[in-house]
Structure 1
Amino acid sequence: MIRRSTLFICFSLFTSDTTALIADCHHTFYKKHSTTLLRVVNRRLLLQEMGTLGLAVALKPELSLAGEFTPGGTLVDRVVGAQVGNPEASASRKFDNSNVLFYQDHFFKFGVAAPWITSGSTDFPKSMPFVVSQQRYDNLKKYGERVKSGVKVLVGLRDIIMAEGDYTQIPGPDAPEYQLRPLGLLANGMMASENTGATNELFLARWYVNEIYLDINDIRNAKSEEEALVKYEAIKKAVDSYYGMINRVITSKVGDKFHLLVAQ
């Protein structure tokens, strides 16, 4: 910190009507406090750079791919990215989640992909939120058959891939026959309530639905049959992961569990 005594000495020299001493005063003052002055300047430059960087990330969120912010704005001390945690996740997902069906999902909150859930596994997620059985029953009754019909269409994509070379003829992910919105609505009713609000498990289920959404587009953009079939297999894994979560909250009082694709 610059002391008052130094400023007083400089002022005294200035009033001694010796012009040459003014230059000496400036030289002495700068020499003694150059480090302090540089720190002030450097700090200002640093703050300016930080402000510029923050504005750039706000205007173009994909710049933070190598950073530590999730799409939802949470600061984390790990690497984030659409395929971090699951290399089979779609690489076409935008970092700001602007090209998926359900904006707030697992990637939005945590900034990473989720693993596939293998048949019968309850290791991930560790637990499921409590939702009253009547709500689960009503939602399964309302959306269950629509979900099954949509999954049937998804399974049929394999035959189309094998028969056609032009995958752009496959309906886009917003086509109603896939019933992807009912998949999300069923998850809402099975994993969230007025008491729980949106849960991490709901975000996870949405992530699997969003992966199906992205994979359909990936198939449409595939350059080869092999590439298209890889994305088809990813769809099957996403469906079974979603089914695995839903089945954990379907008790005998709620209804019948879904049949996993791996068993078909």
Structure 2
Amino acid sequence: MSSTAASSQTSPTSQSSPPRRALVTGASTGIGAATVRLLRSHDWQVVATARRAERLADLAQETGCTWVSADLQESDDVDRLAREVLADGPVDAVVNNAGGALGVDPVAQGDPGEWLTMYERNVLAALRVSQAFLPQMRQRGGDLLFLTSTAAHDTYPGGGGYVAAKHAERIIANTLRLELVGEPVRVIEIAPGMVATEEFSLNRLHGDAEAAQRVYAGVAEPLSAADVAECIVWALERPAHVNIDSLTVRPRAQASNTLVAREG
């Protein structure tokens, strides 16, 4: 694990209580990185994880978080991640943000390999990470937060594989909430709609920058990664008896997965 000195920014309550500690997955870019930044500004201790060590090191230099590079599609890597993180103490929150979409093909032409990769990145990664940190949370309390999508609640043409994966991830959260009732663990889902980040659509469209830009063309103010991070941190900072089961957040210009107001 690599780390930097703690940030000088503190929250109003930091003088009276020790800072809480969070693990954020998929932290090298987009919503994950924005969540690390905001948690640090609220005086949380944060461990950032993703595959790209160079980006994590830059984020640590910027924010004062610590980091562990790991591939959450590999069980051994998740086990190592948990050992390294928990060696420095328990965590109060796990933000399951890692995931992503691949392709926009109709179901009839869908690539099974891409569907499998999306299932690994969105579902099994969240499952492995949650299983690794849940035992200590059941003993002392904590939050499991799942960053899903409005794709977890409805479908749209060309979204079959991603929709299927996000529906499955949401079911992990919904089932855990039933299985853990009465225990000191909150299970939270944040489901964003259209979010303009540097890599989501670019990765989905296999690096086609022009096609990625068209996703957001004419949309007045799609959500930003910082907007979603605000929702995540707000949910985590509710009083311990308050559970935000599921929060859907869209830009004002988006009414559903398929109905978006575009200018021009």
TM-score of the two chains, using structure 2 as the length reference: 0.29
Question: Between Structure 1 and Structure 2, which shows a larger proportion of helix residues?
Answer: 1
Question: Between Structure 1 and Structure 2, which shows a larger proportion of strand residues?
Answer: 2
**The structure with more radius of gyration:** 1
TM-score of the two chains, using structure 1 as the length reference: 0.29
